[in-house]
Structure 1
Amino acid sequence: MKRLSEATLADLSVAVRRPVYDRAQIATGIVHLGVGAFHRAHQAVYTDDVLARDPRWGIVAASLRSPDTYDALEPQNGLYTVSVRSKAGESLRVIGSISRIIVAPEAVDELLGIMAHPATRIVSLTVTEKGYCHDPATGVLNEKHPDIVHDLGEPRRPRSAPGLIVEALRRRHAVGTPPFTVLTCDNLPSNGRTVKRVLVRYAELIDSDLGRWVESEVACPSTMVDRIVPATTDEDRARIGQILGARDAWPVVTEPFTQWVIEDDFPQGRPAWEVTGAEFVTDVEPFEHMKLRLLNGSHSTLAYLGYLAGYETVAEAMADPAYERLVHGLMDEEVTPTLHMPPGSDIASYKRALIERFKNPALKHRTWQIAMDGSQKLPQRLLGTVRDCLRNNASVHRLTLGVAAWMRYVTGIDETGAQIDVRDPMAARLRTLADRAGSSAERLAGELFAVREIFGDDLPKDLRFTDAVTVALTHLYAKGAKRTVAEFTSTLS
């Protein structure tokens, strides 16, 4: 089968949407760090819609670690397919907004040169929570992070996202070029302010004057992004290739729903993303809390409890009535009272849509995939809500069941005694703590509560939280996840 590329675009199936603009006329206006599936199914699609109106906003995308995406898409001239799947069927669209992919470790000077060029007005990121090299519990730069230690020693050849951004900003500052806008699209609380704090501190460590310039001049608008994007499988590649009429080495699969809420703070200009469905607001935080706590908090809870029960996908877990009851209760009883949305916001409709999205059988979102990097995700997805509930003397039982399931998961041994492939930057440390605790739920909880990067200094001292987690963890060990969820939801209903 022929390969998807510029040369084969015209030969694709007539049912497939493709770029309606001349890619040869596209200029680079955006550099994106972290060219993963989410970016390609979300921001790159919004930008693709803009390019027909304004060709100044093409994307140069950089992979900070692996060359896999480059290897897949470079022979395709950066083209790839977005498959939107639901119970109603599947639709395909070829995206052309990424004009070039760079593997940062292999071409760091070239990447920095593009970032420092005056035409680059936005540097966006989807590097996941761990890519910011920060302390998830406090949101400050982790100055002992190995990548930060490396970059401070070799600031002209950085390998971290903060190091790359600050070095590019330093080059612009040195020649009088205005700074680009830094647009984070990751699930961090107050993500714009968090990335600004990280960048300012890193810049201060390089040069105090540079730190002051970054603090006063660099715009870091906050965003809320929402679209479920499972990992692409070989089955997806084969099915999409048959429909497409060409082989795509790395398509992305997603759902019909998509949302992007952005603070409108772009001193050097921006694409007209609003005409493609993005929403520009003065304050993203209420929307961010809604998404992080309702969607991501529920997702993580489903991921750990679902994986432990043997459910491979979110849809399989949601097909269990007890798990669906748990998610409804989590959203309605524990999360929603902590939200403070602007007038006119329809939280009830958003929650109903989430339930349907979670139950989408065509979207095979693996619980194991969502469970990755839990040490970085828990503070944002569950523990912030826990803190708000405790301040209001409200229930945290469903939230703490999710935390307990994470504790059970990171032991690295499932309910059948088989190994769990725990992917987490703290996996080795967490496994050491779990091994030291043995089979005691109480000891395991105590060991993990002491990880201040996750739980901070406050939560381990609050018996309402620690007791509830320990009780839930004891039940998970004694009865397993499936029975625990069934009994738990029956008791609370």
Structure 2
Amino acid sequence: MTHTVDLPAYDRAKLTPGIVHIGLGNFHRAHMAVYLDDLFAKGLAHDWAILGAGVRANDARMRDALLAQDCLSTVIELDPSGHRARRVGAMVGFIEVQPDNAALIAAMAEPAIRIVSLTVTEGGYYVDPATGRFDPTHPDIVADGANPAKPATAFGAILAALRMRKAAGVVPFTVMSCDNLPGNGHVTEAAVVGLARLSDPAFADWVQANVAFPNGMVDRITPATGPRERAMAARFGLGSDPVPVTCEPFRQWVLEDRFTAGRPPLEAVGVTLSDHVHAYEVMKIRILNGGHAIIAYPGGLMGIEYVHEAMAEPLIAGFLNKVEREEIIPIIPPVPDTDLGAYYTLIQERFSNPEVADTERRLCLDGSNRQPKFIIPSIADNLARGVVPRGLILESALWCRYCAGVADDGAVIEPNDPNWDRLQAVARAAASDPAAWLAMEDIYGAVGRDPAVIACFAGFLGDLAARGTRAVLADFIAG
């Protein structure tokens, strides 16, 4: 297997910051930072470098790690034909992480900063799962609404910086979400404007009228960093990096061309600028992210560690194929210049890449935030066309069984959701009252009240308890 290391093909000393990015996790460093690294290597947009930022304790640890290596990130692409390592140099600094975000606010207020981007996870936008709307009653939001001058959230800091720019007559920056959630621009706008309304409705109106929040679809599988990934970096001679990123070779970014203060020429490095982001994101969220959920929970219950191993298990691969082809792909609206069947085939190949070594446990993580975005809308769309989607409902029953905390072989499943205690209690109650699981209104909404869904779910949950995952999947695949 070949091993090469690519260094930045440009003079980093000539870069100047144009973007503040909040949330320097693996995905950002393998996605947006890589696109910018490619752009700078073409001799373009050297005034669009990244300043890293964060608002949590983990962000401070990441800051320390990256500053120790001059803000260079190791990104290793895991192609089965050969690994490729690169040192990504698109970030030129990391703002001090402070409880009141004073340094972050000051940096975002600088006129040179024209984009503030975010990867704060699907659960970081203060969305009420039951309504799909911004939740102004969340304690973090209430606290920032009461004390806007010293905000603790990313959205509060964004508002404080926008207020300073407005007062100074500086054009507002664009706020660009790079998180994997439907309508991420709309969701971000709802959070920023909704928070502003708690303290200054007139300023909220100004933000809504003057700040761009482009929607974007982002895609690249990036496993969590652990001993395997650090050992891999060491084999490239990069053993001093405690936070290397590994990822699949594939990446995609589809973005609305809506920016208040300009943007880098991202189309020069493969970003698709489109007015049809929603079509791309529905395809990706339903087929890829929904597919991840479909293979996650049976794998977790069957004691399978890695995603490629799950794809090599005929029962799981057959379950995925049946649900995707019969219940998901038929409800996906047309996508520009895209064949949905070919896209699904690509997804199967990506899931099966053994070099990525993505874990089933990572895919099982945070179902309480992911299911309402990736699975339940597909159930609702099938019901609307008069179809009871048995495979998607079986997926939900598998999630319930997983959250009860015991695998099929009796092994304990460790907590794997921010709401694990609640989920585990409801899952155990559902053993005798299956409707209790679907009655989680904030997750299932109207879907959980549908009599056909309740009956189908109860049948699958009882069957899983009586016969186990393998037998139930075999019967489902056989029809």
TM-score, normalised to structure 2, is 0.95
Aligned to 2:474: 486
Aligned to 2:308: 315
Q: Does structure 1 residue 364 correspond to structure 2 residue 357? A: yes
Q: Does structure 1 residue 152 correspond to structure 2 residue 140? A: no
1:126-275 to 2 correspondences below 5 Å: 126-244=119-237, 246-275=239-268
Instruction: Give 2:454's aligned amino acid.
Output: T
Q: Does structure 1 residue 54 correspond to structure 2 residue 45? A: yes
- Tell me how far 1:250 sits from its aligned partner: 1.0
Q: Secondary structure of the equivalent of 1:467?
A: helix
Aligned to 1:17: 6
Q: Secondary structure of the equivalent of 1:82?
A: strand
Q: Secondary structure of the equivalent of 2:246?
A: strand
Tell me how far apart the structure 1 counterparts of residues 261 and 454 of structure 2 sit (CA, whole Å): 48
When structure 1 is superposed on structure 2, of 147-156 and 202-211 the one drifting more is: 147-156
Residue 461 and residue 108 in structure 1: after superposition, are their counterparts in 2 closer, same or farther (change >3 A)? Answer: same
Instruction: Give 2:447's aligned amino acid.
Output: L
Give the percent of matched residue pairs that are identical in Structure 1 and Structure 2: 39
1:284-323 to 2 correspondences below 5 Å: 284-323=277-316
Instruction: Give 2:31's aligned amino acid.
Output: H
Residue 148 and residue 418 in structure 1: after superposition, are their counterparts in 2 closer, same or farther (change >3 A)? Answer: farther
Instruction: Give 1:21's aligned amino acid.
Output: Y
Aligned to 2:454: 466
Q: Does structure 1 residue 36 correspond to structure 2 residue 47? A: no
- Tell me how far 1:395 sits from its aligned partner: 4.1
Residue 413 and residue 164 in structure 1: after superposition, are their counterparts in 2 closer, same or farther (change >3 A)? Answer: farther
Residue 102 and residue 343 in structure 1: after superposition, are their counterparts in 2 closer, same or farther (change >3 A)? Answer: closer
Instruction: Give 2:18's aligned amino acid.
Output: G
Residue pair 2:73, 2:88 contacting (<8 A) in 1 also = yes
Tell me how far apart the structure 2 counterparts of residues 280 and 233 of structure 1 sit (CA, whole Å): 35
- Tell me how far 1:107 sits from its aligned partner: 6.9
When structure 1 is superposed on structure 2, of 206-215 and 104-113 the one drifting more is: 104-113
Please list every run of 5 or more consecutive structure 2 residues that lacks an aligned counterpart in the other structure.
none
Q: Secondary structure of the equivalent of 1:55?
A: coil
- Tell me how far 1:289 sits from its aligned partner: 0.3
Residue 413 and residue 158 in structure 1: after superposition, are their counterparts in 2 closer, same or farther (change >3 A)? Answer: farther
Instruction: Give 1:166's aligned amino acid.
Output: L
Q: Does structure 1 residue 452 correspond to structure 2 residue 445? A: no
Residue 258 and residue 454 in structure 1: after superposition, are their counterparts in 2 closer, same or farther (change >3 A)? Answer: same
Deviations 1:428-464 (A, max 9, x none): 32233335x1xx5352x322322222112x1122112
Deviations 1:327-364 (A, max 9, x none): 11122111111111245321111111100111111111
TM-score, normalised to structure 1, is 0.92
Instruction: Give 1:60's aligned amino acid.
Output: L
Please list every run of 5 or more consecutive structure 1 residues that lacks an aligned counterpart in the other structure.
1-12
When structure 1 is superposed on structure 2, of 212-221 and 66-75 the one drifting more is: 66-75
Instruction: Give 1:475's aligned amino acid.
Output: D
Aligned to 1:63: 54
- Tell me how far 1:206 sits from its aligned partner: 1.8
Tell me how far apart the structure 2 counterparts of residues 256 and 100 of structure 1 sit (CA, whole Å): 27
Deviations 1:368-399 (A, max 9, x none): 11211111111110011111110001241111
Tell me how far apart the structure 2 counterparts of residues 344 and 450 of structure 1 sit (CA, whole Å): 40
1:63-102 to 2 correspondences below 5 Å: 63-65=54-56, 66=58, 67-102=60-95
Q: Which of residues 385, 393, 402 is equivalent to 2:395?
A: 402
Instruction: Give 2:14's aligned amino acid.
Output: Q
When structure 1 is superposed on structure 2, of 248-257 and 147-156 the one drifting more is: 147-156
Q: Secondary structure of the equivalent of 1:59?
A: strand
Deviations 1:265-317 (A, max 9, x none): 11211111111111000120010000000000010121111111111111111
Residue 177 and residue 448 in structure 1: after superposition, are their counterparts in 2 closer, same or farther (change >3 A)? Answer: farther
Tell me how far apart the structure 2 counterparts of residues 331 and 450 of structure 1 sit (CA, whole Å): 26
Q: Which of residues 353, 376, 396 is equivalent to 2:369?
A: 376
Q: Which of residues 332, 350, 353 is equivalent to 2:325?
A: 332
- Tell me how far 1:475 sits from its aligned partner: 2.0
Residue 292 and residue 28 in structure 1: after superposition, are their counterparts in 2 closer, same or farther (change >3 A)? Answer: same
Tell me how far apart the structure 2 counterparts of residues 75 and 374 of structure 1 sit (CA, whole Å): 35
Q: Secondary structure of the equivalent of 2:98?
A: helix
When structure 1 is superposed on structure 2, of 420-429 and 376-385 the one drifting more is: 420-429
Tell me how far apart the structure 1 counterparts of residues 272 and 475 of structure 2 sit (CA, whole Å): 42
Q: Which of residues 31, 45, 66 is equivalent to 2:34?
A: 45
Instruction: Give 2:38's aligned amino acid.
Output: D
Instruction: Give 1:89's aligned amino acid.
Output: G
- Tell me how far 1:20 sits from its aligned partner: 1.3
Aligned to 1:104: 97
Instruction: Give 1:204's aligned amino acid.
Output: R
Deviations 1:198-256 (A, max 9, x none): 22211111201111011111111111111100112212212222223552211100011
Residue 208 and residue 421 in structure 1: after superposition, are their counterparts in 2 closer, same or farther (change >3 A)? Answer: same
Residue 405 and residue 164 in structure 1: after superposition, are their counterparts in 2 closer, same or farther (change >3 A)? Answer: farther
Tell me how far apart the structure 1 counterparts of residues 410 and 166 of structure 2 sit (CA, whole Å): 56
Instruction: Give 1:441's aligned amino acid.
Output: A
When structure 1 is superposed on structure 2, of 324-333 and 138-147 the one drifting more is: 138-147
- Tell me how far 1:426 sits from its aligned partner: 2.1
Q: Secondary structure of the equivalent of 2:116?
A: strand
Q: Secondary structure of the equivalent of 1:15?
A: strand
Q: Does structure 1 residue 388 correspond to structure 2 residue 390? A: no
Q: Secondary structure of the equivalent of 2:20?
A: strand
Q: Which of residues 423, 427, 431 is equivalent to 1:441?
A: 431
Residue 475 and residue 105 in structure 1: after superposition, are their counterparts in 2 closer, same or farther (change >3 A)? Answer: farther
How many pairs were matched up?
Answer: 474
Q: Secondary structure of the equivalent of 1:30?
A: strand
- Tell me how far 1:91 sits from its aligned partner: 0.7
Q: Which of residues 277, 283, 292 is equivalent to 2:270?
A: 277
Tell me how far apart the structure 2 counterparts of residues 245 and 112 of structure 1 sit (CA, whole Å): 34
Tell me how far apart the structure 2 counterparts of residues 413 and 163 of structure 1 sit (CA, whole Å): 40
- Tell me how far 1:14 sits from its aligned partner: 9.5
